[in-house]
Amino acid sequence: MSEVGAGGGGLHEPDLPLDEGVGSDRVRSAAFHQLPWYAIAYEGPEHRVVALNAQILRVLGGFDPLGLRAADVLVGTEGQGIIEIYDRAYAGEQALLTRMRLAVATPHGHQEEIVLDFEVSPFRDRHGDIVGILGVGRDVTAAVRREEADAAAAAELGRRYRRATDVVAEVQRALLPARLPVLPSVELAAGYVVADAEQAAGGDWFDVLPRPDGSVAAVVGDVVGHGVAASAVMAQLRAVALERLHAGADPTEVVTALDRFTQVVPAARSATVCVLVLDPRTGTFDHCSAGHPPPLVVDVGGGSRFLDPSGAPPLHDPVRDAAERTARRDTLGPGELVLLYTDGIVERPGVPATAGTVELAQVAAAAAADRLMPVFTLPSAVDRTTAQTLERLTRVTGSGDDITLLALQPTAPLADLHLRRHLTRAGLPALRAELRAWLGGGRVAAQAVDQLDEIVGELCENVVEHAYGHTRRDGHGGGGGAPRGDGGGPVGLDARLDELGTITLCVSDEGRWRPPPAPAVGRGLGLAIVEDLAEDVRIDPSPHGTRVTVGFRPWTFPHSGDPRPARVVPELFDVYTAHHADRSVLTVRGPVDAANVPELDAELALAVVPGAPPLTVDLAQVTVLSSAALHVVRHRLAQARSAGVDAHVVSGPGTVAHHVLALVGLDTRTGPA
């Protein structure tokens, strides 16, 4: 921006060096002075001001730059090329400067920004020789201010709209189940995406409910409309459906109850729903729909078939026709799964519903058979059918409405796990690996596997330390004899996954629990961590050993439009320090249990000596953070504070490390180090 600066000279009506003739000069001078535009004339190669009109004088507030050079008047023009444009005009070139911004400064300290469309052209005498330049411009400040205000208002409206749609989408996601259960005889997967940005989130929903009789209930629904109102109706319908399913109602009874609910909430009328109850032992399932697309049965061999639609209309007042709600029964054969979905997957932008229905059957069958040949693959047919179908069908067209997919497939029952080992600290990783292999890591979210690892690790470390760590060779803790060299002993690990999706985990030993002779300050957190992560904990001590029984409910996550498998965190422990210009970053990866705590402690000790640079302890890739490791981290951070070293911990949101650190009140940041 240029600035017109103060200079010498007094205010007077200027003259132009034109033709002789007093009358002619005065008329021309008066006309120039009264022009409704900005007009200024410069003379000579230095561009000295020789004339200016009333418009410019008015803007200058009485300051008259007559006789000053343009470079002295236009203070701050360096680098903007204005003087160079004047030079080219003096050489005969005409130039138009649009939206030129000037900060006008007067001797009284007043400053004002004006915006000009300014034309600069050569100024010639009567012989045609260039003697200066003439600048004529229009003040477009008001128009530019209006444009800027309109643009700012439009941008604010856009921000408000985006905030509103983001809030609606967040509400929608918060009302949907964030987790799916892991069951012993059924594999489950769900996929959900909200509508594209120009559409507010709608009222799609889904639920899965394992029941005590071993059956699994599933429901998918779609509320008419978008926005908060649709989300509110969806939440109410979902609550009614879950309550009825939890009470043991069959699909027809659930849909009939939803019909009745429309008398209380009329906005729920015209919503569609499909309710299904599957018996995984036989593969038989009953389903009842209200105006909803029929379920799709997909074969891992590459086939697919739509079930017969019930023909019933969407939800409505049941007084009209209570007899139209009837359930249908079907049976899944070997390798088959059933897919429930909402119409957003077939009615995509630019795709007719009939064509979308055919595409769904073809793509879902190819995904189940693992024939889509993506750059990655997923371990189970239900995962492929939901995640890859969702990605493939919306890749080009996007989604004009919310889309929900829910797949169920009976599997062979998961057998109970019974392990008997002579356990030492060095054997903990192998024991955790056997438990993960039994559960099937691909079926369970990585965070759930990490929490289960944490529980097992804490329980087994307690056994090694308290049941066997201080006993004698005779195994009774008294008399002579040296302490056991390996610090271990017999441990039993039993696990069972029940029909409701809860793992009952038992860790038993044959020792006698005694506290160590000199307990370390800050230790004893292991059981508190287990109790926080588990559903319930029961300890049964006896003279022949102790048995700890834990209930834990594993889970998996619905797919949200990204079909790639979750990032795999390495199981092997690693710790290293990288030195950067402004700080050091100590990165820990994998499980940190009692066996590798000394290595972590040694690395931390080197990083917190007096005079050390600021330290970031990166635990974002830690899969197990034992109570012993937690004690070491807390101790070394306290040492860093005493030594004047700025140190903090970073952990990944939702990870075991973040959970455990929060449990003990240790400040931690989330995100990359």
Inside any domain, residue 154: no
404 and 436 both lie in a single domain: no
What is the CATH number for 498?
3.30.565.10
Inside any domain, residue 569: no
380 and 475 both lie in a single domain: no
pLDDT of residue 559: 84
CA distance 287 to 311: 12
543 and 639 both lie in a single domain: no
227 and 266 both lie in a single domain: yes
Question: Which of 341, 375, 410 delimits the end of a domain?
Answer: 410
Can you give the residue range of the structural domain that contains 406?
A: 173-410
- pLDDT tens digits for 565-611? 554 545 688 999 999 888 999 999 999 988 889 999 999 999 999 99
**Polymer length in residues for the chain:** 673
What is the CATH number for 191?
3.60.40.10
Per-residue pLDDT for 558 more than 80?
A: yes
- pLDDT tens digits for 137-160? 888 888 888 888 888 888 878 777
CA distance 171 to 227: 9
Average pLDDT value for residue range 293-312: 91
488 and 472 both lie in a single domain: yes
Query: Which of residues 112 and 643 earns the better pLDDT score?
Result: 643
Per-residue pLDDT for 564 more than 90?
A: no
Inside any domain, residue 161: no
Average pLDDT value for residue range 222-229: 82
293 and 399 both lie in a single domain: yes
Are the C-beta atoms of 175 and 313 separated by less than 8 Å? no
Are the C-beta atoms of 662 and 654 separated by less than 8 Å? no
Token pair of 352 as six digits: 């007719």
What is the CATH number for 657?
3.30.750.24
Per-residue pLDDT for 521 more than 60?
A: no
Our CA angle for 183, 186, 191, nearest 5°, is 90
Q: Which residues contact 285 (CB under 8 A, 6 or more apart)?
A: 276, 277, 278, 279, 329, 330, 331, 332, 338
CA distance 120 to 32: 16
- pLDDT tens digits for 354-402? 899 999 999 999 999 999 877 667 889 999 999 999 989 988 787 778 8
530 and 580 both lie in a single domain: no
Average pLDDT value for residue range 432-449: 88
User: 610 burial class (0-12, 13-18, 19+ CB within 10 angstroms)?
Assistant: exposed
406 and 421 both lie in a single domain: no
Inside any domain, residue 370: yes
Question: Which of 350, 384, 410 delimits the end of a domain?
Answer: 410
What average pLDDT is seen over the chain? 83
CA distance 547 to 559: 38
- pLDDT tens digits for 203-222? 889 999 999 999 999 999 99
Per-residue pLDDT for 196 more than 70?
A: no
Q: Which residues contact 61 (CB under 8 A, 6 or more apart)?
A: 106, 108, 110
Average pLDDT value for residue range 11-23: 45
Inside any domain, residue 133: yes
Question: Which of 525, 556, 587 delimits the end of a domain?
Answer: 556
Query: Which of residues 309 and 107 earns the better pLDDT score?
Result: 309
Q: What is the CA radius of gyration of the chain?
A: 39
Inside any domain, residue 312: yes
Average pLDDT value for residue range 541-566: 82
pLDDT of residue 76: 55
Question: How many folded domains does the chain comprise?
Answer: 4
200 and 348 both lie in a single domain: yes
